[in-house]
Structure 1
Amino acid sequence: MIQRFNKSTLNSGVRILTETVDSVGTCAVGVFVFTGTKDETLAINGIAHFIEHLNFKGTDTRSAAEIADAIESRGGQLDAYTSKEITAYYAHILPRDIPVTVAVLADILQNSLYLEEDIALERSVIHEEIDENLDTPQEYAFDTFTRYCFPRHALGYPILGNHRSLNKIQRDDLQDFIRKNYTAGRIVVAAVGAVEHSVFAEWVRRAFEAYPYEAGKRKVRKLHQPEPFSERKAIAGNQAHVLLGRQSYSYHFPRRYSYQMIHALLSAGMSSRLFQNIREKTGAVYSIFSFLDMFTEGGLFGVYFATDRERVKESISRVFDEFEILRREKVSKKELEKVKMQYEGSLILNSESMVHRLERMCRYEFQFERFISISEIIAATRKIESEEIIALASELLDPDTYNSILFLPESEV
């Protein structure tokens, strides 16, 4: 694919990014805001996600139905999400519809009404979403584990909030959060695909020229290491759900590509070590995978699996056996080349999605303030040697640094 990256900045501080991909006939357009759960207090936990919902409920000139219809009636797909550090509003469209998409996204960010009746209605919707999450063992387990791993820090808060905090959030709280966090310096308006930067930038300028200037620097909050924990909690269902993990590295970690390789060796697909050596050879688990999250201040790394209550101890032991092998034994050249090729292939396959490219481009802008191409990532991973893997694994996979929560059927806790 031929690709061209461009960046410009409005006087307000709003950044405009484009990646032109000549070989496609579609475009992904989005507004990404560098705010999320991490900017909340415990009292208003869930407010970033609440605002994301409410921004589709209506503006001065468009109803909720008209917002959706403006994109979907043209064959486009409109969506949004909230994460720990980013809130995103985006659409996958045809190039002819870029102007109307920019106009709609600008409208919902600048002119949403936040009517009391809409707040009440959407609060009810999110209560249902929270209950659905609580009824999904894996989701509940991860939310609980994350809270334990990030004590006294908003990275440990659930994105949806909880029933109590959601009920406390009022219209004034919503507007105050927007004023403090939806600032021009934290906003990127971007497009990937069949797009020309100069034309796109002019549409964005017209739509966002009235956005007030505000640098909007985000506060960096120190992480506290949790006291070592090994917990048992009740959960509905028949299986035990086990999480083993620890605080780890931020996205500024200089050895982040070696970090990704360890994650891939353990958990990238059916040929990975955890899948082959624990699921395939013992039959003890159905789901097993490692997880890796990187944020501004730090990150989270660990392993999740679900198994029969009687096989929990055995499976934990086998996970730590795999850790010890990576810490002590050099990865063969053949296996390392295989996992590098697998990682490169997934990058290239994902790049076929314009939405994926849009998300990646905006995430790198927030994290590193520059564009990082796939070829740059591939070049960096190809330089990794087995010695780097074993050096990092000896630190990252030290079992003495791992915490655990066992979620067991209610009758067994």
Structure 2
Amino acid sequence: MARETCRKTVLPNHMRILTERLGNVRSVSLGVWFLAGSRDESSDERGISHLIEHMVFKGTKTRTARQLAVDMQTLGGNFNAYTLKELTCYSARVLDTDLDSAVHIVADMLHNSTFNDADLRTEKRIIAEEIKGYLDSPDEVAFDLMAKAALGSHPLSNSILGTSNSLAGLGRKEIRRTLRKQYTSGRTLVAAAGGVRHDQLVSLVKKAFDFPRSNKYLPKPVRVDSSSRVRSKRKMGISQVHLCVGCKCEPYAGSKRYVLKVFNTLFGDGMGSRLFQKLREEMGLAYSVFTFVLPYRDVGLFGGYLAVHPKNASRAMDAFYGESEKMLKEGVTRKELENAKSESKSALVISLENTSNRMSRLANIEIYLGRHVSVDHALNQFDSVRESDVMEMASKLLQPSKMSLGVVGPISRSEMKSLVR
């Protein structure tokens, strides 16, 4: 790997600034990150983080929404924003010569948005349509049902979008209150990767941003309590049953996170994985079948997803559990392990040819680990994973009695419950 040039500055107000300079790259990917997301919302605030993300694009004291769009487009780059369970990010990718302009546009949005009542009503209608689109997406609903079953009352099980009812109660007063509480210096991190000069970005950030001062944000862990084994939604008018099975796993900073990645790759993430080969290539039961890992601060989720004809739901879940039992009984081959390690390393390296991915990695590692992790170190960690490590992880995760299931489709509740082992 090429030598990484990463730098970090912590301002007196506890705002963090991180950069990774890449030679021969003319673009810069910039991200302004806030340690705030849907997990930080109370029951009557559900969806407010996502609503704020929408509203900052609707105009400021000096720019209309149209002028914001024109100013962004004039730079020829890309501006975006997204809300996650634990984080919110406002990002831009521009030429290195336009970094100054990009920083000031984002700062204007974050500090000077007007949150006009008419715009607020419009965005709430738009998000209401977004919620309808989500409810019409059985794969997404199945995942959320599984997460709710696995995580119980933990705030990570809350929907990022909120609900139509919660949105109705959100106004300018609630937005301002949330901004004062969550968009503070100790919760803010600015990251950039590409043709960026660290000292220049530090200078720009000092001048452009003035968030309420706070200490470094250290969220309190929340106990996870599973509420049920299965959550289901009978949905007619669709031709498949969507199944999402999962359980709690390592958090982002867990000591076995590299083992978890290799295990996931081997068991179900990719065309060469055991699940894909069994359920799709051999049995022909599903087009979409894969496993995933979603790590958070307190806990992670490991799970599998498949969509099948209703008459094949029981057979497909039997195959899932069967592959789990087979792996626990027979172990993994050295060839399988080496292939999974190679794929994990290649995926990391290839993803980092994109400056936006580099910026996101830089920010996430700082947020969750509090230190920089070089790519070479990560590759070495993958190389160090042993067969015994993978089997120990498998024995923790591939236990049917610990798994929760989310089901969406045209089958009865009794049939849905029968899918749990």
Give me the TM-score of the superposition, normalised by structure 2: 0.94
For the 8 Å contact 1:309–1:408, the answer to whether it is kept is: yes
Q: Secondary structure at the match of 2:191?
A: strand
Contact 1:247 1:301 in 2 (8 A): yes
Tell me the CA shift for residue 146 of structure 1.
Answer: 1.8
Deviation at 1:212, TM superposition (A): 2.8
Partner of 1:213: 213
1-side partners of 2:192 and 2:412: how far apart?
A: 52
Give the residue type in structure 1 aligned to 2:372: F
AA matched with 1:229: R
2:180–2:212 contact (8 Å) kept in structure 1: no
Deviation at 1:268, TM superposition (A): 2.7
Q: What SS is found at the alignment partner of 2:26?
A: coil
- Deviation of the 1:338 alpha carbon: 1.0
Q: Percent of aligned pairs with the same residue?
A: 32
Q: Partners in 2 of 1:269 and 1:176 — Cα distance? A: 44
| 263-272 or 98-107, which deviates more | 263-272
Aligned: 1:179 with 2:180 = yes
Instruction: Tell me the secondary structure at the aligned position of residue 285 of structure 1.
Output: coil
Q: CA deviation at 1:410?
A: 6.5
Q: Which residue of 1 aligns with 2:310?
A: 309
Task: Describe the superposition over 1:316-335 as per-residue Cα deviations: whole angstroms up to 9, x where unpaired.
Answer: 11111221223233322211
Task: Tell me, yes or no, if the aligned pair for 1:28 and 1:191 is still in contact at 8 Å.
Answer: yes
8 Å contact from structure 2 (residues 47, 167) kept in 1: yes
Partner of 1:7: 8
Give the alignment's Cα RMSD to 1 decimal: 1.6
The aligned residue for residue 365 of structure 1 is 366
Query: CA deviation digits over 1:232-287, x for unaligned, max 9?
Result: 42124010111211122211211111111111112232111111111110001111
Conserved? CA contact 1:83–1:159, under 8 Å: yes
Greater Cα offset, 315-324 or 244-253? 244-253
What displacement does 1:231 show?
A: 4.0
Q: Give deviations 1:83-135, integer Å, cap 9, x for gaps.
A: 00010000111111100001111111111111111111111110011111111
1:222 aligned residue:
222
Structure 1 unaligned spans of 5+: none
Structure-to-structure mapping, 1:97-112, within 5 angstroms:
97-112=98-113
Distance 1:300 1:8 in 2: 32
Segments of structure 2 that go 5 or more residues without pairing to the other structure are 416-421
Q: Quick one: distance in 2 between partners of 1:400 and 1:153? A: 20
Q: For residue 292 of structure 1, give the secondary structure of its aligned residue in structure 2.
A: strand
The aligned runs of 1:310-349 (5 Å cut-off) are 310-349=311-350
The amino acid across from 1:179 in the alignment is R
Deviation at 1:360, TM superposition (A): 1.0
- Tell me by how many angstroms 1:291 deviates: 1.9
1:293 partner SS: strand
Asked if 1:381 corresponds to 2:402, the answer is no
1:16-165 correspondence to structure 2 within 5 Å = 16-165=17-166
Cα deviation, residue 194, structure 1: 0.6
- Aligned residue pairs total 412
Are 1:276 and 2:268 an aligned pair?
no
Determine helix, strand or coil for the equivalent of 1:283: coil
What's the secondary structure of 2:152's corresponding residue?
coil
2: distance between equivalents of 1:46 and 1:143?
A: 15
* TM superposition outliers: structure 1 runs of 4+ over 4 Å: 410-413
Q: Distance in 2 between matches of 1:295 and 1:6?
A: 25
1:277 to 1:359, Cα distance in 2 relative to 1, 3 A? same
Report the more deviating stretch, 176-185 or 403-412. Answer: 403-412
Assess if the C-alpha contact under 8 Å between 1:247 and 1:300 holds in 2.
Answer: yes
Cα distance in 1 for partners of 2:160, 2:356 equals 22
The amino acid of 2:8's aligned partner reads K
User: How many Å separate the matches in 1 of 2:149 and 2:67?
Assistant: 42
Cα offset, 1:10, TM superposition: 1.9
